[in-house]
Amino acid sequence: MNPSAILIRMNIKTAQRDGVHFSFVNEEEFEAIYKDIFVIKEYDFKTTNRSPFILDCGSHIGVSILYFKRFYPDSQIIGFEPNPRNFKLLQINIQKNNLRDVQLVSAALSDKEGEIDFYVSKDTNAPWTWGDSGVINKWYNKKNSKIIKVQSVKLSQYINNPVDLIKLDIEGMEEIVLNEIEPKLKHVKEIYVEFHGSLTNELNDSKRIFNVLKRNKFAYSITQEAKNINEEEIRKTDPYWLIIHAGKKF
């Protein structure tokens, strides 16, 4: 899709918070994401590396990248975002904040390279896009959603050297991607998995994800509804969300 055509059809809004510039279309969605990342600090990340290498998977419009760059301005970041509208806003937010050492990849992460179906909102004015996914999830229905084709890549091809952090927020494809990169997890120090569970999505199972982490010597904590919980306390509503924070055992 032509980037200029995307811009013409988008009613872009802007905000500045503590010197950081944000461009977005859906204000309510932006405020919710900003609160999660900048206020609640959902992806709080501590490292002694002044130039950490971060893989930001599911970059959306770039709020998480702006957060990481605020605390680690010399970080090296690769951001992945498949939705063409979000990707254009992502580019704008990186450019407007003069960020360097950020590589953006307009593609979905999958276990295959090529092209996949991607489920997005039909709304052209202020769509909610944080539920867009390469799998059918709770938010998909024929009335409000449509299918587009997007490029897909394997995350494993980007993991050849030590990775300080992987942020994985890909709306129901977490297990698919973790399985794909399992042979490379020896290079990864820390992972944030935003798990999107659904009783109808058999491709994404929290227990199997925990097993991948255990096999690869990660210790982890689980947060649900702003509470720290253990595996037995997970509430499996449809859909349900977990934040899984995993780090290597030393």
**CATH for 3-248, among 3.90.1150.10, 1.10.10.410, 3.40.50.150, 2.40.50.140?**
3.40.50.150
126-173 confidence digits (pLDDT tens):
676 777 878 876 666 677 788 899 999 999 999 999 999 999 999 889
**Residue 193 confidence (pLDDT) above 80:** yes
Put simply, whether the predicted model's pTM sits higher than 0.85 gets the answer yes
Average pLDDT for residues 171-184, to the nearest whole number?
Answer: 95
Band of the pLDDT at 106, cuts 50, 70, 90? very high
Average pLDDT for residues 230-244, to the nearest whole number?
Answer: 88
Distance CA 172, CA 81 (A): 15
4-62 confidence digits (pLDDT tens):
445 446 789 999 999 999 999 999 999 999 999 999 999 999 999 999 999 999 999 99
216-227 confidence digits (pLDDT tens):
999 999 999 889
Q: What is the pLDDT of residue 8?
A: 44
Give 29's contacts (C-beta < 8 A, 6+ positions apart): 126, 128, 129, 130
Cis peptide before 239 (omega within 30 of 0): yes
Distance CA 31, CA 107 (A): 25
Residue tagged 């904590």 (tokens): 221
Mean pLDDT, all residues of the chain: 90
Please report which helix (H) or strand (E) contains residue 153, including its range.
Answer: strand 145-153
